[in-house]
Every structure is written in structure tokens, then in C-alpha cells.
Amino acid sequence: MSAIAGNQPTAGGKANLPSGPTQLRNAFDLCVHKTRDNIKRLADDPKSAAWAVDGNYFAFNEGFHEIGNWTSSFFTGMAVLAWRETKDVFFLQQLLRLAPHYLAKAFKQHRHTHHDLGFLYSLYSVALYKLTGEKLHRETGLRAAAVLARRFNPSGNFIRAWGYLGTDDFNDMAIIDCLMNLPLLHWATNETGDQRYREIAIKHADMVLKNFVRPDDSVYHAYRFDLKTGRPLRADTYGGIAVESHWARGMAWAIYGFALSHKYTQDARYLDAASRIALAFIHSLDREIVPVWDFRLPAGATPLRDSSALAVAVCGLFELAQQGGQDSKFFHSTRPMLLRLCAEDYLNSDPACPGILRNGQVGNGVPGGAQNAYTSWGDYFLMEALSRELRLGGTFW
């Protein structure tokens, strides 16, 4: 049984949580405070700054314009949320310092991109355009959507995840995370009237629905296809502990991603998939509430917790509640999850540490992966979830 249903305490009492909003507001204010320093450091020296065991993201050595960068905009997304709430122009000033880099990546260095253009540009260009109306951000976001659309394989109806276009590197593979990139395509159709973007997003979502979602409502991380015929070949993983395991963050991406696909299409199949995966996720939680990084660990494996998976999932549950009405069963799951993430063993309130959310897990033995790390995506989705809970405004997906 999930701990969420009864809000039961752990043996050490960790899940015996306070119910008032003060802790959540304090956590949001902490995010704002740390974002003030982090966004300036990013503007001073643009890089991906993805994760860090010690919380010092800015020691990360991957440059902003490298193909592997998918994380810079988690900092800009936090800065946009901070600016919207505080009206402090400092955040906007730092965000605008980054505009030439986003412009160059989309127009001049587009070859050095992969499918995560949605993560990068939804939380920067699209967000700023929605709040400022500045046409430059619209043009940059639309260019990013056009570059993303080039990665679509019409034979297999999938968006290629990784690798340079024109090379064989991962050219046959899609991953579950890409559901979060589809809102950029839907937005581009809404802005331009060009239905091609939406058609690609729908075809990719349908492919994921058909091939990634298992009968038990868990999901695969990756799938490979025959490039000529488009025939699905086999599942793969670069996230979970094994191909057939239940990677917690992958399930969180699926919850939020399918809920967003429903938002743009009103296709009930996506809402149903998101709901089923959400229930499977919730039922897999134990009394700690924060999930183990993979729900199907082999006997003897260390049950490391992944705070970032829960942060993403909470945002997905909020979106599900919004799509299904505020009486949705998912709405009542979010507060105990958020309160758990805001407890002192997960939330680092030290102002000297750039990182916010402890104990995120990165990769399955991939180069540069990490255990018990701070993650930029964990921090962003925590702040987004807090903004939703405190009703501070909408999101930018």
C-alpha cells in the first residue's frame, strides 16, 4: 500500500508531516533566494550545470552549446518563476543576458542539439515570450521547434532522441523523456497555424502509447526501431537498472508528458494513460514517500531514493488534477509528497550551496552519472510544484 493513502510515518517518523502552508511557502522563497545567485552565475558563464554531488552545479564542465546540454533551462525556468512572483527586474536582466546564447544555439549551432530542445526552449524562449510578448523570444522558440521537427522519423513515427543528424549514433532510438519536449511543437502550431508540428507531436505520443507503456502501466525508458520499415525492434534502457525494470523518473516523465499531450489535444487516451501510470507510481511508493530510483531493484541492491523523480511526478499529478478537475483523486496526493520533499533531510537551506533538493539519482552507470546528487531538474520541478500548490500562476509547458 502506498504511504500517500494513509500518510503513514516511517519507522523514524519521517513521513509524519505538518499540514500548514508555511513550510511550502518557505521552501518556495528558498528557491527564489538560491535562484538569484544561480541565474547570475549561469549568465556569467553559460553551461549545462546538470548535477553535482556536493550541490555546486557550476563545477560541471559541459558547455552550453554542446550537444549533450539539456539542463540549462531548469535554471532559467526557476528565474522566470522567481521574476513572475517577485517582480524583481534583476531576474529578467539575467535572463536577457542569455538570449544571444539561445539564439545562437537555435540558428547557428542547431546541429549541436538533440530532442531536448523542448526542455531548453519551453523554459526559456516560450516562457519569456508568454510573459513579455517580445518577438525575439517567439522567433527563437519557433526556430527551436523547427529544428526539433527535423528529428522526426516518419517510418517509425518517432522523434530521434540523441546523436547528430546525419550520423548513425542512436539514430534508431526514442526515449520516454521526449514526451516533455512535445509541448514546444504544440505551441509552435498554436503560434503559426502550421499543423505539421502538432501532427509530429501526436504521432510521437501515439508511438509511445503503443510501444512504451507495459500492461502493468510501468514504462520502458527507450525503444529502438528499424530505420527502413519503422518496425519496433526492442526496448532498451539508459535510465533504469535493467530493460524490464521500472525506472521511477521514467514513469514520472510519462505521467507529466501524457497529461500535457491531453492538455493540447483533449485526446482521452493520453489522460487515461497518464492516470494509469500515476496510479502505478503511487502504489509503488513505500512509507518514505520519496521513491526508490527503480521500483524493480534486484535483491540486495541499495534502495537509493530519487527525489527528482518525485518532484517531476508531483508536477504531473497537478497537471492531471487540472485536466480532470480539482476533485481529481490525484490532487490529494500532491501535498504530502511536497511536504516530504521540503523536509530537512531532502531540502538544503544552506544559502552557500547552489543545490536545493538532495538525493537525486542520475543514470544507470552512464558516464558522468551520479548517486545521491543534487539535480537541476529536481530543483526546477520542485519549484514548479510549489508554485502550483501555492497558486502563484500557470506553467510554461
pLDDT of residue 14: 43
Domain ranges of the chain: 3-389
pLDDT digits (tens, 9 = 90+) for 196-208: 999 999 999 999 9
- Contact between 222 and 237 under an 8 Å Cβ cutoff? The reply is yes
pLDDT of residue 221: 98
Residues of the chain with pLDDT under 50: 1, 5-18
pLDDT of residue 63: 92
How many C-beta neighbours within 10 Å does residue 353 have? Answer: 16
Q: What is the model's pTM?
A: 0.94
pLDDT of residue 60: 85
pLDDT digits (tens, 9 = 90+) for 66-85: 999 999 999 999 999 999 99
Region of 293 (left: φ > 0; alpha: ψ -120 to 50; beta: rest) is alpha
Identify the three-state secondary structure at position 231: coil
- Contact between 362 and 369 under an 8 Å Cβ cutoff? The reply is yes
> What are the DSSP calls for 305-318, one per residue?
B-HHHHHHHHHHHH
pLDDT of residue 326: 54
CATH code given to domain 3-389 = 1.50.10.10
Catalytic residues: 116, 177
